[in-house]
Amino acid sequence: MLQSLKNTARLTLKELRAIRADKVMLVLIFYVFTVATYMVADAISTEINDLAVAVVDEDQSPLSQHLTDAIRAPMFKTPDSLTPDQAEAALKVGGYVLVVSFPPEMERDLRAGRATTIKIDADTTAIAQAGNGATFLQQLLAAELSAWAAPSGANTTSLVSVVFRNLFNPNLTSKWFTSVMELMNSITILTLILAGASLIREREHGTIEHVLVMPVRPHEIVLSKIAANGAVILAASVFSLVVVVEWIIGVPIGGSLWLFVLGTAVYVVAVAALGLMLASFTHTMGQFGLLIIPVIIVMILLSGGMTPMESMPDWLQTLMKLISPAPHFVAFAQGVLYRGAGASVLAPEIGAMAAMAGVALTVVVARFRKVLS
């Protein structure tokens, strides 16, 4: 037992030295966990800012002009005045995200107590901006109409008011979401690539033969590769979370950092074992690259991080939770980082990842026994 631990430790040091010698891989790790995380979080935004709006004013009254003047920066650009035909053509070519149409005799109808309809056409090809922009614009117009009608005592609003309350991200800041999702995706991608590349590199450099003549067993080789590559990924992910996500981007971390480290370590073991297993079926880095790309795409797209798991068919949800640790890691990370959940709440997710790690380790050790025999 003691000799086995010593062998594993020596092999782990060998793997760490191999990673240190691979300058390109070190640059890739640094880039993904710092620059890429920040750029994606900063560039991808769903907040409303300078939204292109046009107005079709068929009323030409002081009220319609007052409502038009209320549509202004920073959420909206200064609205252009169009005819109905021009507005229809502009929407077809994507000239405006929102087009507001004031009907004829709008002010006179309101003063006489008659109902009227203000139409907002949204270009939903820009789905997030159109949806959020239409909501903000609707609230803006309702508020301006209420203020206009207040002196006369007229009621232009519904008796029912709807109040929204946003938990865990009160201002719906997209950086809070994209930065954490980018970090989780980076952990998945680099763990798979690093673990698999460590085996392919041994084959391409011919050093696997040296390992074969050493008095070591397959599980020691597997554990050393997972320990070395997992430690690098875990350290880089903690650095990225604290320095880039929390300090630079300003995302508040709701839960325990140590609990995040624990769950991430379990996930890294499961994913690294999967990477080694996939690498055991290939002989070159090119083959491994072709094999790993679809695996990464499926793991990320169907993890629940980019779209809710509830939007998937029931059978697909069940399948992904059985074969991939990614959905459990996304649920775990969102729970500990956003909601501040504790270990008791997240125990099922950690347990599921640990069970998958155990299965993956068993399979990959069996594969190594066969490959090295």
Q: What is the largest CA-CA distance in the chain?
A: 96
Read off the tokens for 138: 């609707």
Q: Which amino acid would we find at residue 306?
A: M
Read off the tokens for 326: 């990614």
**What is the rounded CA–CA span in Å between residue 121 and residue 130?**
9
Residue 21 phi, psi (nearest 5): -75, -15
Whole-model pTM above 0.75? no
pLDDT in tens, the chain (373 residues): 777 788 788 878 877 887 787 776 777 778 777 776 776 666 555 666 777 888 989 989 888 898 899 888 877 888 999 998 888 777 665 678 788 888 888 888 877 777 778 888 876 655 556 667 777 877 888 888 777 776 665 565 543 344 445 556 666 677 777 888 888 888 999 999 888 888 888 777 777 667 666 777 778 888 888 888 889 999 999 999 999 888 888 888 888 899 999 999 999 999 999 988 888 888 788 878 877 887 888 788 778 777 667 667 778 888 888 988 999 998 898 888 887 888 888 899 999 999 999 998 898 888 877 766 6
Class of domain 53-149: alpha beta
pLDDT given at position 219 = 80
Helix (H, G, I), strand (E, B) or coil at 122: strand
**What is the rounded CA–CA span in Å between residue 373 and residue 279?**
16
Read off the tokens for 154: 């007229």
- Among the listed residues 301, 238, 256, the one whose alpha carbon sits nearest the alpha carbon of residue 37: 238
pLDDT given at position 157 = 57
DSSP conformational letter for 51: B
**What is the rounded CA–CA span in Å between residue 35 and residue 236?**
13
Helix (H) or strand (E) holding 56, with range, is strand 53-57
First-last CA distance in the chain: 22
Neighbours of 308 (CB within 10 A): 8
Helix (H) or strand (E) holding 81, with range, is strand 80-81
Q: Which amino acid would we find at residue 18?
A: A
Residue 100 phi, psi (nearest 5): -100, 130
Range list for CATH 3.40.1710.10 in the chain: 53-149
**What is the rounded CA–CA span in Å between residue 145 and residue 157?**
8
DSSP conformational letter for 76: B
Q: Kindly report each contact of residues 136-142 with a partner whose C-beta sits within 8 Å and lies 24 or more positions away, as own/partner.
A: 136/48, 136/75, 137/53, 137/71, 137/76, 137/98, 137/100, 140/70, 140/71, 141/67, 141/70, 141/100
pLDDT given at position 351 = 93
